[in-house]
Amino acid sequence: MRAHRHAPLALLATAIVLGCTNAGEGRVLSITATGKVAGTVYFDVDGSRTNNFGDTNLAGIGILLFTRGTRDTVARVISNGSGAVVLTDIPVGSYTVGVDPATVGAMFELVSTADTSFTLASGDSVSITVGISYPHKTVAQARALPAGRKIFVEGIALNARSTFSDTTVHLADTSGAIRATRVRSTPFFVTADSVRFLGTTSARDGQPTLDDVTPLVLFPEVFLPNLTVITTGVAASANAGRLDAALVQIDTATIGDTIAVADGMQLLVNDGTGSLEVLLDQAADPTFFPPNRAGASPPYPYVPGARFRIIGVLVPTGTAGVWRLKPRSSTDLITR
């Protein structure tokens, strides 16, 4: 008899639990808390990582929403002809913004966004701005890239475009130095300016370069990087290439011979550790001329036996493993 009395109680308890569970589930499913995400996709023309005047809106770029801290895609949208994106009915939660690489291509990257990480509450409308551009690289990274990659590199200009007759510019950051070739004449910049270069990775005389460069001045005449003091023997190999394009100093070098060349004078100097070619480019300084030039006023300083402290940039000669030093003006040569 006890079993018959207890059975209905057990069934009733089960029914109560199931009833509560079903009621709760019904209430959760009835809540549809969502928000909206909208914004613009643009091409960052100047590499500033901000949407400036001159930047253009981009169509056809896939924008992704990931659950924050994961790569789980919650939503995807393609920017329209005006670069606009709109994502509606997005569940409340915390998200990060990404770009579908299939719509960007290997030569471009996500360079800037506003509100890339946000929490969306019920009824919220969050605004995003997404920038796509060429990759930003350090000098060391640029030197390691294969030829043909269009990139931005920032650093200090070690010379002006007009310094040398071949218009090459040496650019340095904390990771190293690189030569920039075919640098555009505008905007104008001078030695020690902080600049951003947009160019294509290339090579000249066996060394990496940045070619076909569009410059942008960031800050005028900041401090030059510290000079690397080396011997003539080390300079002649650019320390086995590690100092290619760098600005260096030879403390005391004696001129052993001078040779007139098309664009100025070539000096052969030595501090006892090995011979080094120093090229005095007349474009760099009008005093860099052969001693027998008509109208030259004595005394001519660059003669065999003269000793100088010499500052300059290291440039490969075209012969494997051999570099020359190029002073940027007569002030780079101090009589010792």
Last residue of a domain, one of 219, 249, 278: 219
Mean pLDDT, consecutive 10-residue segments, the chain of 336 residues?
Answer: 35 30 44 87 92 90 93 94 95 93 83 79 92 94 97 97 95 97 94 96 97 95 89 98 98 95 91 97 89 65 95 96 97 95
Note the pLDDT of residue 183: 97
SS3 330: helix
Distance, CA of 336 to chain centre? 39
Residue 3 in any domain: the answer is no
**Residue-range definition of the domain harbouring residue 141:** 136-219
Note the pLDDT of residue 105: 80
H-only helix segments in 167-306? 232-236
Report yes or no: 172 and 247 within 8 Å, Cβ to Cβ: yes
H-only helix segments in the chain? 2-29, 101-104, 139-144, 232-236
Residue 189 in any domain: the answer is yes
Q: Do 142 and 68 belong together in one domain?
A: no
Q: Give the CATH number of the domain where residue 85 resides.
A: 2.60.40.10
Residue 2 in any domain: the answer is no
Residue 10 in any domain: the answer is no
Note the pLDDT of residue 293: 62
Q: Do 189 and 142 belong together in one domain?
A: yes
Residue 28 in any domain: the answer is no
Note the pLDDT of residue 115: 67
Tokens for 149, please give them.
């990659």
Report yes or no: 302 and 281 within 8 Å, Cβ to Cβ: no
Residue 4 in any domain: the answer is no
Counting the structural domains of the chain, the total is 3
Q: Are strands 150-157 and 136-137 parallel, antiparallel or unpaired?
A: parallel
Q: Do 163 and 244 belong together in one domain?
A: no
Element (H, E) at 238: none
Q: Do 251 and 299 belong together in one domain?
A: yes
Tell me the pLDDT tens digit for each residue of 234-292.
999 999 999 999 999 999 999 999 998 888 899 999 999 999 999 999 999 988 987 76
Last residue of a domain, one of 133, 153, 187: 133
Q: Give the CATH number of the domain where residue 147 resides.
A: 2.40.50.200
Q: What's the pTM? A: 0.83
- CA 166, CA 284: separation in Å to the nearest integer? 11
Per-residue DSSP letter, 303: -
Q: Do 172 and 151 belong together in one domain?
A: yes
| Nearest residue to 328 (alpha-carbon basis) of 282, 284, 286 | 284
Q: Do 43 and 126 belong together in one domain?
A: yes
- CA 285, CA 263: separation in Å to the nearest integer? 11
Per-residue DSSP letter, 47: S
Q: Give the CATH number of the domain where residue 264 resides.
A: 2.40.50.140
Distance, CA of 224 to chain centre? 18
Note the pLDDT of residue 22: 45
Q: Read out DSSP for 184-200? A: -S-S---TT-EEEEEEE
Residue 86 in any domain: the answer is yes
The amino acid that residue 48 corresponds to is S
Note the pLDDT of residue 53: 84
Last residue of a domain, one of 133, 164, 199: 133
| Nearest residue to 323 (alpha-carbon basis) of 313, 334, 332, 331 | 313
Phi/psi of residue 126, each to 5°? -100, 135
Beta-bridged to residue 73, according to DSSP, are: 66
Q: Do 208 and 237 belong together in one domain?
A: no
Residue 192 in any domain: the answer is yes
Tell me the pLDDT tens digit for each residue of 41-77.
999 999 998 888 889 999 999 999 999 999 899 999 9
